[in-house]
């Protein structure tokens, strides 16, 4: 941040309040030419507002944060305008009204007013007690610092403390004067030291232990301290907790335990070992589980989650989200596996997929009676008297001298007066297509009507109508048709037939 100067360093020190001494922060402020009370400055000295944003009143948005640019050291006066660390000793940077300043760190103070040496004097000594140059008098001059307010004053030692040199100390809990002045608790490796009731006490720090047994609350012992570092295979969770062969001491959920030693390609995951290349619960990294999907379970292949389809299913659309959506047991486009499409069916057949094998089924009324898949369903089962409704089902003769009959895949016999012709029951006495015999078709001259009378082919002239009940050719003159009323009838004329 660009700083300005006021002309010289300004020191704000201690002030008297009543009969005591009250310390105030020692500030050293720098500004451009101008005054602290708001005199105008150049544009370079103006404290700029930061970018606007949804910040409370009095704060400015700097990046993702809302800050008070009047007090924030890292954004003093404007965003990203940080106050540099002071050069002098025992000083800290401050931001006051958007201007960089420095403050003395208690109990230090800038007594000589020189910026070069910072805050060079302590105000808790008998020569500078509470303020610069305040000397404590008496046979044993004492400068006592109030633990609550931090203010130092020349005064006798309070109750419960003793004078040790020029300071008042509590020898019951001061590690530097434990049990008496100058009786310092010696440091020990891996341990913290406290003074309790005038006795040095040592506490092992986390991860260390006193395994040689010289620990004691008595002063001067525990010479080796907490000499063992825990977390090793020889001293895992505590002294002498040895991990056996094939085990290693590891931290699980913050607790040291002996776990199975993981051998490559496995690695430690929690309290166990896992191969992150193949373990679906730890795929690619510990704790990364492979999810399943419809018709599938999650598997880990080369550290990547994939789907393993259930038997008879396939992920044929390649979409992980809908799982294994296709049956490869019955789908003719994916028969036995994705993309394995069944070939086109043979004649009169439809392709099928059964248990993952391609085949075909015959269309209605057709059968593969010769067992050859190449020509498909070559046999009609509808009117075939040797395969009627099914391959090899032979229809018996309905009566002596009559041929067998198959109609709509069912073996049948004709009613009295009818005869089977080409799997159809007909009356040979009146059927013009089977007149007197199967297949004997009656013919006539152009315009005339062929008729069958008692199995004999005859004709009716074009102006006449054949009346089957009368077996005659009649001239109809009324609405009653072939009734006997109002008609004139003639015997049919000679006719002809075709074989």
Of the pLDDT bands very low, low, confident and very high (cuts 50, 70, 90), residue 499 is low
What is the C-alpha to C-alpha distance for residues 499 and 494, in angstroms, rounded to an integer?
17
Do you know the residue count of the chain? Answer: 499
In order of 164, 185, 195, 222, 270, the CA distances from 175 in angstroms are 13, 5, 5, 16, 42
Percent of the chain with pLDDT over 90: 37
Q: What are phi and psi of 363, to 5 degrees?
A: -70, 165
Task: Output DSSP code: residue 433.
Answer: T
Q: Which residue has the higher pLDDT, 4 or 29?
A: 29
Percent of the chain with pLDDT over 70: 86
Which long-range contacts (C-beta less than 8 Å, at least 24 apart) are formed by 474-478?
Answer: none
Q: Give me the pLDDT at residue 69, please.
A: 92
Minimum mean pLDDT range among 6-15, 305-314, 388-397? 6-15
What is the C-alpha to C-alpha distance for residues 278 and 282, in angstroms, rounded to an integer?
8
Q: What are phi and psi of 490, to 5 degrees?
A: -135, 155
Q: Give me the pLDDT at residue 314, please.
A: 95
Q: Give me the pLDDT at residue 295, please.
A: 93
Q: Which residue has the higher pLDDT, 93 or 167?
A: 93
Q: What are phi and psi of 75, to 5 degrees?
A: -140, 60
What is the C-alpha to C-alpha distance for residues 164 and 172, in angstroms, rounded to an integer?
13
How much is the average pLDDT of 324-351? 95
The 10s digit of each residue's pLDDT in 237-248 is 899 999 888 788
What is the C-alpha to C-alpha distance for residues 88 and 367, in angstroms, rounded to an integer?
108
How much is the average pLDDT of 332-358? 95
The 10s digit of each residue's pLDDT in 392-408 is 999 988 777 777 888 88
Q: Which residue has the higher pLDDT, 99 or 143?
A: 99
Of the pLDDT bands very low, low, confident and very high (cuts 50, 70, 90), residue 9 is very low
As given in the structure block, the two tokens for residue 168 are 């008042």
Of the pLDDT bands very low, low, confident and very high (cuts 50, 70, 90), residue 155 is confident
- The 3-class secondary structure across 231-268, one letter per residue, is CCCCCCCCCCCCCCCCEEEEEECCEEEEEECCCCCCEE
In order of 179, 346, 381, 410, the CA distances from 391 in angstroms are 117, 18, 7, 12
The sign of the dihedral angle between the CA atoms of 106, 107, 108, 109 is positive
Q: Give me the pLDDT at residue 4, please.
A: 30
pLDDT above 70 (res 182):
yes
What is the C-alpha to C-alpha distance for residues 92 and 108, in angstroms, rounded to an integer?
11
pLDDT above 70 (res 220):
no
Contact call for residues 395 and 404 (beta carbons, < 8 A): yes
Of the pLDDT bands very low, low, confident and very high (cuts 50, 70, 90), residue 27 is very low
Contact call for residues 431 and 452 (beta carbons, < 8 A): yes
Q: Which of 6-15, 80-89, 345-354 has the highest mean pLDDT?
A: 345-354
Q: Which of 7-16, 279-288, 488-497 has the highest mean pLDDT?
A: 279-288
The 10s digit of each residue's pLDDT in 185-197 is 888 888 889 999 9
| Exposed / middle / buried, residue 335 (Cβ in 10 Å: 0-12, 13-18, 19+) | buried
- DSSP secondary structure string for all residues of 404-416: PEEETTEEE-PPT
Rg (CA), the chain: 58
Of the pLDDT bands very low, low, confident and very high (cuts 50, 70, 90), residue 222 is low
Q: Give me the pLDDT at residue 143, please.
A: 85
How much is the average pLDDT of 46-68? 71
Is the peptide bond preceding residue 107 cis, with omega within 30 degrees of 0?
Answer: yes
Q: Which residue carries 């009169």 as its tokens? A: 348
pLDDT above 90 (res 213):
no
Of the pLDDT bands very low, low, confident and very high (cuts 50, 70, 90), residue 485 is low
pLDDT above 60 (res 3):
no
As given in the structure block, the two tokens for residue 139 are 């046979």
Of the pLDDT bands very low, low, confident and very high (cuts 50, 70, 90), residue 336 is very high
pLDDT above 50 (res 36):
no
The sign of the dihedral angle between the CA atoms of 30, 34, 37, 42 is negative
pLDDT above 90 (res 227):
no
Minimum mean pLDDT range among 20-29, 406-415, 448-457? 20-29
Q: Give me the pLDDT at residue 364, please.
A: 94
Is the peptide bond preceding residue 248 cis, with omega within 30 degrees of 0?
Answer: no
Q: Could you tell me which residues are beta bridge partners of residue 308?
A: 297
Q: Give me the pLDDT at residue 216, please.
A: 52
pLDDT above 90 (res 164):
no
Tell me the pairing of strands 496-498 and 65-67: unpaired
Calculate the average pLDDT of the chain.
Answer: 82
């Amino acid at each position: 941040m660009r700083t300005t100067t006021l002309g010289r360093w300004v020191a704000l020190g201690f002030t008297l309040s009543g009969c005591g001494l009250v310390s105030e922060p020692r500030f050293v402020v720098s500004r451009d030419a101008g005054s602290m009370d708001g005199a105008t400055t150049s544009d370079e000295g103006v404290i700029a507002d930061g970018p606007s944003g949804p910040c409370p009143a009095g704060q400015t948005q700097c990046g993702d944060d809302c800050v008070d640019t009047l007090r924030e050291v890292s954004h003093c006066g404007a965003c990203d305008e940080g106050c540099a660390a002071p050069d002098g000793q025992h000083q800290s940077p401050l931001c006051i009204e958007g201007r960089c300043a420095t403050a003395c760190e208690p109990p230090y103070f800038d007594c000589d007013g020189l910026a070069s040496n910072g805050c060079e004097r302590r105000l808790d000594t008998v020569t500078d007690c509470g303020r610069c140059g305040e000397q404590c008098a008496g046979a044993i001059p004492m400068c006592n610092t109030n633990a609550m307010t931090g203010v130092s004053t020349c005064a006798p030692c309070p109750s419960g403390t003793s004078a040790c040199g020029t300071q008042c100390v509590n020898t019951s809990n001061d590690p530097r004067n434990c049990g008496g002045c100058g009786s310092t608790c010696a440091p020990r490796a891996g341990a913290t030291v406290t003074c309790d009731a005038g006795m040095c006490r040592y506490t092992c720090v986390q991860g260390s232990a006193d395994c040689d047994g010289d620990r004691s609350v008595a002063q001067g012992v525990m010479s080796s301290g907490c000499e063992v570092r825990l977390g090793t295979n020889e001293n895992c969770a505590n002294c002498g907790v040895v991990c056996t062969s094939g085990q290693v001491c590891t931290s699980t959920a913050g607790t040291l335990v002996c776990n199975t030693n993981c051998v490559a390609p496995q690695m430690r995951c929690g309290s166990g070992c896992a191969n992150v290349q193949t373990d679906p619960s730890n795929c690619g990294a510990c704790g990364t589980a492979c999810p399943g999907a419809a018709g599938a379970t999650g598997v880990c292949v080369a550290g990547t989650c994939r789907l393993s389809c259930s038997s008879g299913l396939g992920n044929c659309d390649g979409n992980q989200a809908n799982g294994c959506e296709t049956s490869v047991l019955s789908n003719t486009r994916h028969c036995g596996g994705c993309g394995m499409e069944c070939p086109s069916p043979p004649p009169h057949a439809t392709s099928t997929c059964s248990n993952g094998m391609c085949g075909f089924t015959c269309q209605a009324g057709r059968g593969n009676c010769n067992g050859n898949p190449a020509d498909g369903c070559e046999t009609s089962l509808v009117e075939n008297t040797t395969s009627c409704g099914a391959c090899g089902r032979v229809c018996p003769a309905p009566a002596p001298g009559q041929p067998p009959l198959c109609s709509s895949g069912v073996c049948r016999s004709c009613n009295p007066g009818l005869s089977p012709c080409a799997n159809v029951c007909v009356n040979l006495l009146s059927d013009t297509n089977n007149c007197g015999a199967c297949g004997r078709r009656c013919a006539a001259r152009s315009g005339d009507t062929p008729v069958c009378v008692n199995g004999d082919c005859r004709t009716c002239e074009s102006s006449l109508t054949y009346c089957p009940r009368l077996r005659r050719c009649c001239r109809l003159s009324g609405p009653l048709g072939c009734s006997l009323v109002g008609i004139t009838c003639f015997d049919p004329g000679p006719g002809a037939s075709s074989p």
